[in-house]
């Protein structure tokens, strides 16, 4: 069959690139498809301090550039295309893009997820400049500064408590008058002396000249507007929105099992409920979404795909 790949990897973030490296190194004909620029969420990170073995002063873009280089060194092919449909019903899987149609013996889905934004003016411009969506990644940058966590669910409260280890003061800003987090988590939060709460409040705007300097709040019940300005000595503060993630799984609806949140359930070997289709990285149901777990997923998915092809396709 003309232009048949062993493995097609959808997504070129850390999971997809790691899968591409392992698949191509195993001498499989490998194609990595990405609709936008490579790298996923990590390319917006100015410093990568918690990826094991990363070089001094590594950034998201430099780390991704090296991953791309490694995958291509072993022969992985990369194409830019937006996937509009897939057909996983037959032994040979079909991936349909806006530009071309692709076929493979196995498919690894590594489309990722994106943090749900607040949606207020200034948020996009100040991301990475005071606005962060990852406490594990960036908490250290806010040592002894003030921090606002937006949200009231399990993740928001847990991340807020984590941030109290670094920031001098952490305020949870929630649009309701009570938290949605589990009662056990709430109990711990209310006992934490560094944690403060702003109820019935939403963020209207974020301001700053190259760095976050002002946050504008609105009380939903009274309509009152308040502005918080960074302490003069600090110069800035932190805003961490934790109001959920949006998985890039729309195109897979009805083609593969998804959970209620739109994530893909897999087993420990990255197998989905469809033979020959695997998932890796942030698109997968998992407890920790970090570069290190994404690359591990990608490696496992590629090795499992190789074994699947060996067992199901004759030479």
Work out whether strand 77-80 and strand 83-87 pair parallel, antiparallel, or are unpaired. unpaired
Shared domain for 104 and 143, answered yes or no, is no
Shared domain for 146 and 237, answered yes or no, is yes
pLDDT of 54 reads 75
What average pLDDT does the segment 59-76 reach? Answer: 89
Q: Which residue has the higher pLDDT, 5 or 135?
A: 5
CA–CA gap between residue 37 and residue 90 (Å, rounded): 30
**Residues marked as catalytic:** 134, 137-138
Domain that holds residue 176: 123-241
Q: Which of 187, 221, 241 is the last residue of a domain?
A: 241
Shared domain for 40 and 104, answered yes or no, is yes
Q: Which of 241, 264, 298 is the last residue of a domain?
A: 241
Which CATH number characterizes residue 181's domain?
A: 3.50.50.60
Shared domain for 36 and 100, answered yes or no, is yes
Shared domain for 146 and 227, answered yes or no, is yes
Mean pLDDT (the chain) is 93
CA–CA gap between residue 138 and residue 143 (Å, rounded): 10
pLDDT of 196 reads 97
Shared domain for 148 and 249, answered yes or no, is no
Shared domain for 252 and 222, answered yes or no, is no
Shared domain for 215 and 133, answered yes or no, is yes
pLDDT of 137 reads 82
Q: Which of 213, 241, 269 is the last residue of a domain?
A: 241
Report the domain count for the chain: 2
3-state secondary structure of 101: strand
Beta strands in 29-153 (DSSP E): 30-34, 77-80, 83-87, 93-97, 101-109, 113-115, 146-150
Cα-trace Rg, the chain: 22
What are the pLDDT digits (tens) for 32-46? 999 987 887 776 666
């Amino acid at each position: 069959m003309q232009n048949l790949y062993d493995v097609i990897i959808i997504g070129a973030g850390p999971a997809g690139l790691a899968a591409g490296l392992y698949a191509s190194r195993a001498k499989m004909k490998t194609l990595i498809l990405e609709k936008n620029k490579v790298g996923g969420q990590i390319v917006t990170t100015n410093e990568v301090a918690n990826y094991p073995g990363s070089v001094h002063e590594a950034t998201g873009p430099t780390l991704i550039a090296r991953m791309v280089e490694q995958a291509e060194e072993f022969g992985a092919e990369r194409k830019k295309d937006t996937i509009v449909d897939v057909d996983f019903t037959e032994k040979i899987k079909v991936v349909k893009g806006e530009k071309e149609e692709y076929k493979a013996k196995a498919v690894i889905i590594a489309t990722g997820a994106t943090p749900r934004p607040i949606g207020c003016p200034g948020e996009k411009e100040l991301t990475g400049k005071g606005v962060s969506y990852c406490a594990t990644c960036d908490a250290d940058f806010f040592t002894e500064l003030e921090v606002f966590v937006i949200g009231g669910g399990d993740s928001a409260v847990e991340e807020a408590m984590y941030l109290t280890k670094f920031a001098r003061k952490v305020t949870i800003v929630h649009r309701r008058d009570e938290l949605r987090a589990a009662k056990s988590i709430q109990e711990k939060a209310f006992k934490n002396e560094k944690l403060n709460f702003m109820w019935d409040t939403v963020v209207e705007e974020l301001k700053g000249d190259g760095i976050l300097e002002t946050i504008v709040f609105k009380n939903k019940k009274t309509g009152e507007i308040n502005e918080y300005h960074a302490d003069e000595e600090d110069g800035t503060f932190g805003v961490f929105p934790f109001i959920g993630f949006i998985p890039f799984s729309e195109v897979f609806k009805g083609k593969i099992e998804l959970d209620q949140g739109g994530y893909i359930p897999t087993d420990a070997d990255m197998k989905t409920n469809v033979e020959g289709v695997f998932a890796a990285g942030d698109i997968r149901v998992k407890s920790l979404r970090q570069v290190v777990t994404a690359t591990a997923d990608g490696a496992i998915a590629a090795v499992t795909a190789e074994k699947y092809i060996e067992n199901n396709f004759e030479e």
